[in-house]
Each structure stands twice: as C-alpha cells, then as structure tokens.
Amino acid sequence: MFTIDVNGVDHTVNVAEDKPLLWVLREDLKLTGTKFGCGQALCGACTVHLDGQPTRSCVLPIAAVGQRRIETIEAMAADAIGQQVQRAWQEMNIPQCGYCQSGQIMAATALLTEIPSPNDRDIDEAMSGNLCRCGTYARIRRAIHQIADDQR
C-alpha cells in the first residue's frame, strides 16, 4: 500500500512495490494523459514532474516516489506556466499526432519555470530527451521562445 501526492491530492493505492509510476497513474488513478512510449526512459512520452523536476514515470517504481509531489499533464491547466504553455501549443498549432505532446508540455513547463528566458542551448538541453516521431521540434522551440517573449 502506498500513499502518493498526485496533483495536490493524496491517493492510496494497493499495488506491487515495483509497479512503475506511469502504470499507477494510468491504471489505478485513471490519469491517462501521461503516455506510454518506450518504457525504457528513452522517449519522454511518460514525463511527469516530481517535486517540479521532469521525470520518466515509466521507469520509476512506485516505492521510490516517497513523499515527493507528483504533477501530471492533468494539473497543467492550473499551473500558471503550464497554462501559458498549453495556450501557446494551441495557438501555434504545435501537435501533429499529439502522442508525445503531454511529455513535451511537461518538459517545456519545467524548463520555463526554472529558466524564464531560455536560449536555444537551454531549450535543446531541456527538450532533447523528448522524442517526437512527427518532428515538431522546430515549432516547439519557437513556442518556447514566444512564451518567454510574452513574459518579458
């Protein structure tokens, strides 16, 4: 039995200690916005925030979460920066198939929270672990710059 803080609410789940956080979120808590891609910490589709840090939930056993605060894409509408990112993603028409985009939005939100005006290098570093089969990288980079400009 584990109690985890997800999007500001405590949830108690009765699962094996090695169950990855991704599957606790999707199967036990029905938070299906976080996606499964590779299952090996290679693609970023499963990115959530753990105490604000982008984290691959597909390789994180539930037993390793502890008291850390988990935030998923479902909480981004209530996050000041997450909201801006989602708005820019809509206005600039970033997603193509959309599959990777919740992970991209989580990574971009964490970046802009830490570095309000990131340069290209900051963006590449922060976003390089999030793969997009549709190739939306250039648009994502433009959107991140646009959000930073709007904040100035």
Task: By CB under 6 A, name the binding residues for ligand FES.
Answer: 36-39, 41-46, 56, 58, 95-101, 132-134, 136
- Check: CB of residue 41 under 8 Å from CB of residue 32: no
Residue with Cβ nearer ligand FES (7 or 47): 47
Residue with Cβ nearer ligand FES (55 or 78): 55
Helix (H, G, I), strand (E, B) or coil at 69: strand
Q: If you search the block for the tokens 């502890």, which residue do you land on?
A: 66
d(C-alpha 32, C-alpha 106), whole Å: 14
- Check: CB of residue 111 under 8 Å from CB of residue 126: yes
Q: Nearest 5 degrees, angle CA 32-CA 33-CA 39?
A: 75
Q: Amino acid identity, residue 47? A: T
List 71's β-bridge partners, or say none.
49
Residue with Cβ nearer ligand FES (37 or 118): 37
Residue with Cβ nearer ligand FES (13 or 41): 41
C-alpha count within 13 angstroms, C-beta hemisphere, residue 75: 18
- Smallest distance, ligand FES to C-beta of residue 27, A: 15
